[in-house]
Structures are given as structure tokens and as C-alpha cells.
Chains A and B, each alone.
Chain A
Amino acid sequence: MRPAGRPLPAFLRAVAGLAATLLMTGCARTGVAEPITAEGRRVEDLYVVVYYIAVAVFLGVVGAMLYAVVKYRKRPGDEELPPQNHGNTTAEVIWTVLPLIIVLTLFGMSYATLRVIDEEKPLDELAAVVNVRGVQWGWEFDYGNDKVVAGGVSDDEAPTLVLPVGEDVRLVMTSDNVIHAFHVPNFLFKRDIVPGRQNQFDIRVDIPGTYRGQCAEFCGTEHARMTFQVKAVSRAEFDTFISELSSDSCQGDESAPSAELAIKSENNQIRFVDVQSNEQERCLKAPVDTPVKLTYTNEGGPQHNVAVVAGSASNPKETYLGLPDAQLIDSGDITYDVPALPAGKYTFFCQVHPIMSGTYLVQ
């Protein structure tokens, strides 16, 4: 044991100094998701400032503690009381006022950053306004004019929000029924999606690429898998994407309309699949002006039903088949009666999990 009172050996002090230096300089951005938006870079800059203050405070306080632990340890055999110091008002004032100044400065910087992030641009400066809808458990990105990208938890690929690079976009968010949150780590940003509220924010993605996003407010059983992607592309690519986007899931489907339709869901899945191929079913075709028998099989798991509406699952204009007639089942078969409908594009979906939806085409 070192005789008490000798300072730490030189090399230990050097190691401590090196560690402190590294902490202060090398690690400031460690772990932070790479910001790809103008706003995100401001957030990262603020983070770095707080990081330096944090490291300085931590090293200062822990350093003082370790110093006290070494310098003021009781020597064996020394039973005399140390000076019984009750306090020092000057010290109290100093270490109240100084942190107060740090806190206020930090507040000022954060406030300035906040103004930038929460700033909304005038409508005519926006390249696009996308309505984002959070549902249990998936996402709908509605570009307007019936151009919707929708996808959810049981799809093979997460739904993609396509945005133009370098341009301001507004995301207007609504919820189906529970609170969700729109979070893209590379935006260094999230915003809750609250039923009954319309939360919106403007964002500008500066770096093309594909980025991950997911729901960040607990929303039930499949909260963990409620993911999406953001794809930032050139303006030209974005325009092409929009013009080719259609919410008609029957595009490219070559099956013939039938008055006897069948659909099923597999064990514990939140999607409809074709009864033969087990592939995701997004298109049902029925003949014009003919009543249809729709047989649904639930192979087990949560309750589902099949509803048929004009409009979309989130915005039904008229319901042709729905609760209470379209009963929920959690296992077995049920046959629903869909009334005769004129030609047109309708939507079929599960009323418990509206993300399970597709086009009901009458032709």
C-alpha cells in the first residue's frame, strides 16, 4: 500500500489526463445518428455543446471526489477530529450562480435551435404536403389525389415515404385511434401522432438515400414492428414517383372477377393472404351489379373481419359491408354477403386492423 498522502504516480495522472482529453474531443458525436436534414444538423450541434458541458461537469465533480477520497482519507491511528467546518456562504453563492449562468446560457441556445426546428414555412414554399397516418400497426403516406402508399407490420417490406431532396416538405399527421409517434433517427426528430390532434412539421432532407423510421410511442401489440422508410430522391425522380403512384392495388392483377371470393389470414398474422398461394392479398375483383359471397378464413390469432367501403379504410365514404353484420372471428370460416355494387374501385379491410386492406374492384 502506498503510504497515505503521496500523490498518485505520474503515469496514472497521465492516463487520467489522456482519458479526459479523449472524452472531451473524440467522442462528442459518438453514437448520434447521422443527421441528414438541415434541422437535424442544428440539433447535433446543440448536442455537442451540451456534451462538452456534461463532460466538464462530470470530470470536475468526480475528480474532486476522487481527490478528496485520496487526500482526506483517515490515516490509521489518527483519532483526532478534523476541523468542524459548517459551511461557507461564498462558496454556496458561487456554486449556485455559476450553474445558473450555465443553465441560462444553455436555455438560450436551445431556444434558438428550437425556433429553427419548429419553424413552419409558408405553404407556397413547400414542395409537397404529405398526410401521414399512423395506424395499428403501419403507416399511410397520402400525397393527395388518391395517391397513397400504405403498408404495415406484416408486409415483407416497410412502407416507404418518398420525399424530394433539398426541398421543404410538410408532414401532417393524424392517427387512427391510438397515440403513435413518427420518428426517423436520421432526422434527429420525432413528433407524436395524437388522435384528435393534427400535429405537423416541416422538414428538409439534404442527403439522398434511404433511411429508417419507426413508431416511437407505445401503441399496442406490434408497436415494435411498426417501421417505415424514408427515401429522399431528386426532384425529377420524386415527380415521376408521384405520377406513377396509384392506390389501386389491383393494378397488374390479372384475375377474373368472381361472385364467390375467398380470402384468409394465417396464424397470428395482421394481413390477408390468398387462400391458395398464401401471398399477401391486395386485390379482390367482383362482377358488376352482382351480389358476392366472400368467404373469410381465420387460421388463428387476433380477431379479424372483412369490410367493404367506398373510399379508403381511413376515410370511408359509404359502408357496404361492415360491423355488426360483418362479424369478427378469431378462428374458422365465415361467409359475408357483399351487396351488388356498380363498377368502381372500393376498399376492403379489417375493421380491427385497418392496415389489412386492399382494393375491391368491381368490373
Chain B
Amino acid sequence: MSAAPPKPRSAFMDYLTTTDHKKIGVMYLYFSFFAFLVGGALALLVRAQLTDPDGAVFTDPDTYNQLFTMHATSMLFFFIIPIWAGFGNYIVPLQIGALDMAFPRINALSFWLLPAAFITVFSGYLTGGGPAEAGWTEYPTITTGHYDGANGHGTDLWLVGILLVGISSTLGAINFLVTVFKMRAPGMTMFRMPLFTWNVVVTSMLTMLALPVLTAVLIMLFIDRNYGGSFFDPALGGNPVLYQNLFWFYSHPAVYIMILPAFGLVSEVIPVFSRKPLFGYKAFVLATVAIGALGFSVWAHHMFTTGAVLLPFFMFMTALIGVPTGVKIFNWTATMFGGKLTFETPMLWCLGFLSMFLIGGINGMFAAQVPIDYHIHDSYWIVAHIHYVLFGGSVFGVYAAFYFWFPKITGRFLNEKIGKVHFWLTLVGFNLAFFPMHILGLAGMPRRIASYAADPQWASLNQASTVGAFLIGISTLPFIYNVAVSLRSGQRAGADPWKANSLEWATSSPPPVHNFDSLPPIRSERPVFDARLEREGRARLAAGTDTPGATR
């Protein structure tokens, strides 16, 4: 006797209970982009405040302090890290020819922890004291004692929420690593894996090794705040610098967690739109691993001014990490040389990434020199640096990923014209918002200040920056519109609309539930390219327009 076929589930229940990496990936993308918009709105309020030296909008500095704290929290923990987990979730199993992630149910858990964590952190706004307000770094002793600035329940909710994010990321990292190590299709050796997957692997190793330290330090702070602990309060025998060491031991590798997947994406897109392979595949892998390893040795460059750091060592290692990063930039540029370039939006975003991330790396080089950092630490130069690498780097990479993989995920292209408007608006707004901050930092404007009444001469650069920020805000509108319209009626895309290289393009757009009906032979890092070349060659032979053995 055969059982009756199961009743079809509603779409809502389907997504609520799914363990399919593709659906989970899409949920990550929606959630993370929502967090990006929340973080962006908070940023606009921050920038509005700074248009006037006395503070244009909020008379209460605590409100402002909450704004920049929650802006960074939303962006770092709920947008930039999860969105790459989302793209990774969707794309990595496809790129290695696998059926799904190694642990599908844990995969679902990793995702659902995030909305729970977001609600926990933001419910600080519902408490009497408001949400966390001592910066996303939440240093003691401001956060341990009952000192004005961070003594409400909002900080405790923040700690619990970030702990949940940490659990989500750690589980996800283990999932990615096991998937890649154990579930690659036959022929897919490690050195034939696409660079995006490689970068997700190194990102996952960083996550797995660094996150436990953050978990520990957040719990220690929670104990200090609520159970009479004395880890960080010197009045009780503790040491506030200990917190900084533990916090940054995770949070520095975290910034590589935020950028490496973008590196991977750019390494996929530039070769496709240059029509030649990535220049120096092995060098890229080596450079990625080097960045990951070196990333563990530089954390104290966030603490140069504490007087508690072995300065020459950390200055040396910080300067050193620029070398593998530079290698990547040179290799991407070399990929374009001798190619035949076209400039569809994924490629535009990658070119933007290259130049903007370059600026971020360069201004980081200034900060790496301790004597210069003595001047620019905790100033707007640092704000410029972090946004050039995080926005100019990671966000440009995210947008490139959206435009590149949207056809694969949905079976439709995003509109090119609207995409170009989106790109140029963002590029202009972004530079207007953040370039003036270099000058403000050199002039001595500290970060995390709600007003600057003693320095009215800083007002004009701040106002320019605010205009840029609002331009960025406006620039998200064509993107949202593009997604909405293209989902419904975008130009249809086939399996391999960009003539790309890796296995995700060897299946339909969108892929079936089981990902692949069949796999092409995997003999290089570009199996889809190889298969397409062979197919086109055979077609020319059959049509008589080519002779066997002719090279193209």
C-alpha cells in the first residue's frame, strides 16, 4: 500500500522549517539586507547630528551614543558577517558539486539564531536605560561599573544577543568546513576549488578559532556586570586592558571574516568579465591563507595608545599583512591585462571594490605606523579607514555578489540600467561621505562625539560628509526597486548567463532542489568554462567552420 502524497506546505511553513541550503541562503540574504537598512538608518541619524557643532538633532548625548553603538552592531554582526554566510550557504555547495551542506538542520539553526539575536539586542530600546551605548566595543570599565554611559540592561541584552550571533557563526563555520572537506564532487581537488569557496574556508577557520575568545570575553563582562566578577575592574583587582586584548583577539580576525568572502567573489567575477582565468590562482590561495594566519598576530594594533602593548612586534606584523593583500590587488589587476573586458554591473562593482578597498588598505598603512597612530587613533581617520575597507570593500563586494548571482538564484537578471545608476550613486555618495573624514581625523576630531562645539571649523567637512551619507541612503532605493521589479519581470537568465567558470553555472537557474542533474567533468578550477569550450568547439566542428586542433 502506498501512503498518500504529503500535503504541499504553504510557502511560509516551507521557509520556516526548511533545511535546504538554498532557501536558508535566501533567508540570510533578506535578513542581512534588512539589518543593513536598519544600520544605515541609524547612520543617517548619526550624520544628521554632526551637521552642527552643537549637535543638530539630539540634545541628549546618550541618545547619540546609542545610535553609533547600534549602527555598528547592526552592520557588523547582523549584516556583513551573515550576508557572506548567506551567499556562502547558497553558493558553496553548488561550487563544489555537493547536494547540500554537511549538517542541514544545524544550518537552519545557525540562521534562526540571528533574528532571535537581533531582537534580543534591539530590545534594549524597550528598556528604561535604552540599548547598549558604549560603542560596539563596549569597553570596561565604562561597562563594568555603574558609571554614566552603559549601566542599563541594554548592555546586558547586547551581550546575550552577540553571544547568540557567535553561536550561529561558530556552527556555520564548522558546517562550511566539513562540507568543503568531505563533500566535494569527484575531481574537485582542493586546488581546483573556486576562490570564493577557498575564501569561505579560510573565513570559517578564522571564525572557528577566534570566536570562542569573543564568547569568553562577553561572558566575563556579563559576570563582572551581574555576578560581582572582577575580571576587568581595577578597583576589584581586575585589568581593563585584559578585555581589550581578548576582545580584539577575535575582532581583528573578524574583519578578515568580513572581507575575505568579498575577495573570493571578486576573484570569481573579474576573470568572467575579462574572459581569462584568474591570474595566479595558487598565489591567491597562498595569500588568502597568509592573511588568515597573519590576521591572528596583529590584534594589539587597536591598542597602540594604551601603553600596554609590545609596539614593535605589532607594528611589524600589521605592516606585513599589507603584503599578501597587495599581491591580491596586483593579481586582480593582472587578470584584466590582456583580457577582453566588458562592464556589466558585477564588473563595475568589482572595479569600484578594487579602487576603494585600495584606499582603505592604504589609509590603514598610515595607522599601522605607531607614531602616526598616536595622532589618528580614535579619530575620524579611523572611521574613514574602517568604512573604506568595510563599505568600499565588503559592501561593494556584496553588491557585486548580488548582481552576479541574482540570475542564478532567481532565474532572472537584475536590470542593467538601474544597476548602473545604483553603482554610480553609491560610488559618489560613498566617497563624499568618507573621504573628508581623513582630513577631520588629521585635524584631531575624535570619534564617538555627539558634538564638537569647541571646533566649529570642522562643520563644513562634516556637512559634506552628511550629504554623502544621505546620497548613500538614496542609492539603496534603485537597488531595492531593481530587486522588486526584476523578481517579477526581469529578463530571464539561463544556466550560464555570464559565461562563467564554476560549477554553480552547470545547473539551471534556479537550481533544482537536488542541485545537479549531472556534473561536467572536473579537470581544472574552471569546469564550466572547460565544458563550454568543448561544447562550442564540437559545435564548430559539426558546422564545418573549424578544423580539429585549431586553437581559439
Chain A contact residues, CB within 8 Å of chain B: 30-33, 42-43, 46-47, 50-51, 53-54, 57-58, 61-62, 64-65, 68-69, 72-75, 78, 80-88, 91-92, 95-96, 99-100, 103-104, 106-107, 110-111, 113-114, 117-118, 136, 158, 177-179, 181, 183-186, 188-192, 194-197, 199, 212, 214-225, 227, 302, 352-353
Within 8 A of A (CB), among B195-246: 234-235, 238-241
- Residues in A with CB closer than 8 Å to B342 are 73-74
Contact A85 B277 (CB under 8 A): yes
Residues of B within 8 A of A106 (CB): 319, 365, 369
Contact of A194 with B315 in the complex, beta carbons under 8 Å: no
Residue pair B377, A216 in contact (C-beta under 8 Å): yes
Cβ contact within 8 Å between A80 and B552: yes
Most A Cβ at <10 Å: residue of B239, B305, B342, B378: B305
CB-nearest residue of chain A relative to B303? A192
How far is it, in angstroms, between the C-alpha of A352 and the C-alpha of B146 when the chains are bound?
A: 10
Assess whether A42 is in contact with B307, with CB atoms less than 8 Å apart. Answer: no
In the complex, which of the residues B307, B320, B351 has the most CB atoms of chain A within 10 Å of its own CB atom?
Answer: B307
Best-surrounded residue of A158, A181, A221 (most CB of chain B within 10 A): A221
Residues in chain A near residue B454, CB distance under 8 A: 158, 212, 214, 227
Shortest Cβ distance from A103 into B: residue: B319
Enumerate the 3 nearest inter-chain pairs by beta-carbon distance, A residue then B residue, closest first. A185-B444, A196-B234, A220-B149
* With A78-B340, A224-B449 as contacts: A87 and B275 at CB distance below 8 Å: no
Q: Is the CB of B283 within 8 A of A92?
A: yes
B141 lies within 8 A of A87 (CB): no
State whether B319 touches A58 (Cβ < 8 A).
Answer: no
A353 to chain B, nearest CB (A): 8
Point out the residues of chain B lying under 8 angstroms from A83, CB to CB.
276, 338
Residue from B337, B442, B450 within 8 A of A224 (CB atoms): B450
CA–CA, A107 to B365, complex, Å? 11
Q: Which of B60-111 contact A (CB under 8 A)?
A: 61-62, 65
Contacts of A178 in B (CB 8 A): 141-142, 145, 147, 149
B339 near A72: Cβ-Cβ < 8 Å: yes
B241 touches which of A50, A69, A197 (Cβ 8 Å)? A197
Name the contact of B455 in the complex, choosing from A78, A86, A96, A212 (C-beta under 8 A).
A212
In the complex, which of the residues B282, B369, B453 has the most CB atoms of chain A within 10 Å of its own CB atom?
B369
CB-CB under 8 A for A92 and B333, given A58-B358, A74-B275, A82-B276:
no
* B444 CB to nearest A CB, Å: 3
B252 at the interface (CB under 8 A from A): no
Choose from A54, A96, A158, A183 the contact partner of B365 (Cβ within 8 Å): A54
Cα(A180)–Cα(B297), bound, Å: 26
Query: Which residue in A61, A78, A216 is a CB contact (below 8 Å) of B378?
Result: A216
Q: Are A197 and B439 touching (Cβ within 8 A)?
A: no
**In this complex, what residue of A is CB-closest to B441?**
A31
> Does the CB pair A190–B377 fall under 8 Å?
yes
A50/B365 contact (C-beta < 8 A), A65-B354, A72-B337, A352-B148 known? yes
Which residues on the B side are within 8 Å of A218 (C-beta)? 65, 134-135, 139, 142, 149, 448
B115 at the A/B interface (Cβ < 8 Å)?
no
B326 engages A99 (CB within 8 Å): yes
Q: Is the CB of B65 within 8 A of A188?
A: no
Known: A31-B438, A57-B362. A46 touches B377 (CB 8 A): no
Tell me which residues across on chain B come within 8 A of A75, comparing CB atoms: 340
- Report the minimum CB–CB distance from A88 to chain B (whole Å): 7
A43→B374 CA distance, assembly (Å):
9
Interface contact B448-A223, CB-CB below 8 Å: yes
Are B315 and A111 closer than 8 Å at their CB atoms? yes
**Total inter-chain residue pairs, C-beta < 8 Å:** 274
Q: Does B150 contact A (CB under 8 A)?
A: yes
* 20 residue pairs bridging A and B, Cβ less than 8 Å apart: A31-B442, A74-B275, A85-B279, A86-B280, A88-B279, A103-B319, A136-B147, A136-B148, A158-B454, A181-B305, A184-B444, A190-B374, A197-B306, A197-B308, A214-B454, A216-B377, A218-B139, A221-B148, A224-B450, A302-B148
A221 to B280 Cα, complex, angstroms: 51
**Is B487 in contact with chain A by the CB < 8 A criterion?**
no
Pair A31/B275 contact, Cβ less than 8 Å: no
A183–B147 alpha-carbon span in the complex (Å): 22
Nearest-Cβ distance from residue A277 to partner chain B, whole angstroms: 24
Whether A225 lies near B305 (C-beta < 8 A) is no
**Pick from B279, B320, B334, B442: contact of A33, CB under 8 Å:** B442
Tell whether, in the assembled complex, residue A185 and residue B443 are in contact, meaning their CB atoms are under 8 Å apart.
yes
How far is it, in angstroms, between the C-alpha of A183 and the C-alpha of B363 when the chains are bound? 21
* Inter-chain contacts of A84 with B (CB < 8 A): 276-277
* A197 proximity list for chain B (CB < 8 A): 234, 241, 306-308
Tell me the smallest distance from the CB of B322 to a CB of chain A, in Å. 6
B15 at the interface (CB under 8 A from A): no
Across the interface, do B552 and A190 meet the contact criterion of CB distance under 8 Å? no
List 13 extra interface pairs beyond A33-B375, A158-B454, CB under 8 A.
A58-B362, A78-B340, A96-B323, A117-B374, A177-B145, A178-B149, A179-B141, A190-B375, A194-B306, A195-B234, A196-B235, A221-B65, A224-B452
Contacts of B337 in A (CB 8 A): 64, 68, 72
Judge whether B127 is part of the interface by a CB distance below 8 angstroms: no
Q: Which residue of B lies closest to A78 (CB)?
A: B340
B274 located at the interface, meaning its Cβ lies under 8 Å from any Cβ of chain A in the complex: yes
> Please, which residues of chain B bring their CB within 8 A of the CB of A99?
322-323, 326-327
